[in-house]
Amino acid sequence: MEKAITKEILRKVRRIEVRTRRMVDNSLAGSYHSVFKGQGMNFDEVREYVPGDEIRSIDWNVTARTGVPHVKKFTEERELTIMLMIDISGSGGFGSGDQSKREMMAELGSVLAFSAVRNNDKVGLILFSDFVELFIPPDKGRKHILRVIREILFFQPKNKGTNISEALNFVNRVAKRKCVTFLLSDFCLPGDFDDSLAALRPKLLVTGRRHDLITVSVTDPREQELPDVGHITLEDAETGEQLVLNTADPQTRQAYAHLALDRAERFAHTVRSAGLDLLQLSTDKPYIMPL
């Protein structure tokens, strides 16, 4: 039984590898290289000044000590660290079409991981619910990437809740150097939406100052509007709370859509006002071009 399960897992990993590698090769390789640059310049050595050298690069301490002008030589630091933070809370299991939100986030994470490995960058992984459930330190190489993808696809969370702030605190503790951090979530915040959003904003600000933080919001079309199908029972996948709605009532459907749009706009404003990039994706639409 275990062998059969392992074979199926490996088959799925292989399928996602083939699919995402093709996407990376055809669509993302050049864009990735141009968008994500090294973290700066590394000091290499000190050498004697020659005409044409930048005056601002003169090392005045060495120059004073030797009596001969010397300049500092730097090399560009090309290697990046990519940190994937993926929300695996209960709400991610929802999907009204062929793909759930979590499945789409898994594929997005896989695409980004392969983009990074093709550029010889390191990739780390943080899977979180209402606590950090799994952390894989950044590394590179195909074996490491396949492990990252396997965990993204098949890790079974212990909890159903969501705590994005805790995940951001964690990445700030473990990532000592600046990295490109992708936060993939449906951003279904617990409790009162306004209170949760207000509490999240300072965490986004802090992480955005320390790292290049890119937020990726994945939603499902049924979270934006309801079909006219009569009485339905909605259940919160994280708390189990249920609510019965009459979708045959146009005012109910309109109020639902208005609330969803209002929350999406307030969330987008909060993220962008913190100086962060926001990519808004839906499970019913292709994601490669926006990505």
CATH for 108: 3.40.50.410
The pLDDT tens digits for 171-216 are 999 998 889 999 999 999 999 999 999 999 999 999 999 999 999 9
Whole-model pTM: value is 0.78
Residue 34 lies in a domain: no
Point out the domain boundary residue: 75, 96, 119: 75
User: H-helix or E-strand containing 218?
Assistant: strand 212-219
Residue 26 lies in a domain: no
Q: 57 and 168, same structural domain?
A: no
Domain range holding 52? 42-75
pLDDT mean over 246-275? 93
Q: Determine the pLDDT at residue 41.
A: 52
pLDDT mean over 132-151? 91
Least confident window among 3-17, 34-48, 94-108, 151-165: 3-17
Tokens for 68?
Answer: 């001969």
Tell me the residue length of the chain. 291
Q: 244 and 166, same structural domain?
A: yes
- Give dist(CA 35, CA 277) in Å, integer: 13
Query: Which residue carries 């199908």 as its tokens?
Result: 229
Q: 127 and 52, same structural domain?
A: no
Q: 52 and 106, same structural domain?
A: no
Q: Determine the pLDDT at residue 177.
A: 87
Residue 99 lies in a domain: yes
- Give dist(CA 104, CA 145) in Å, integer: 18
Query: Model confidence at 9, in pLDDT bands (50, 70, 90)?
Result: very low
- Give dist(CA 231, CA 247) in Å, integer: 6
Q: Determine the pLDDT at residue 37.
A: 53
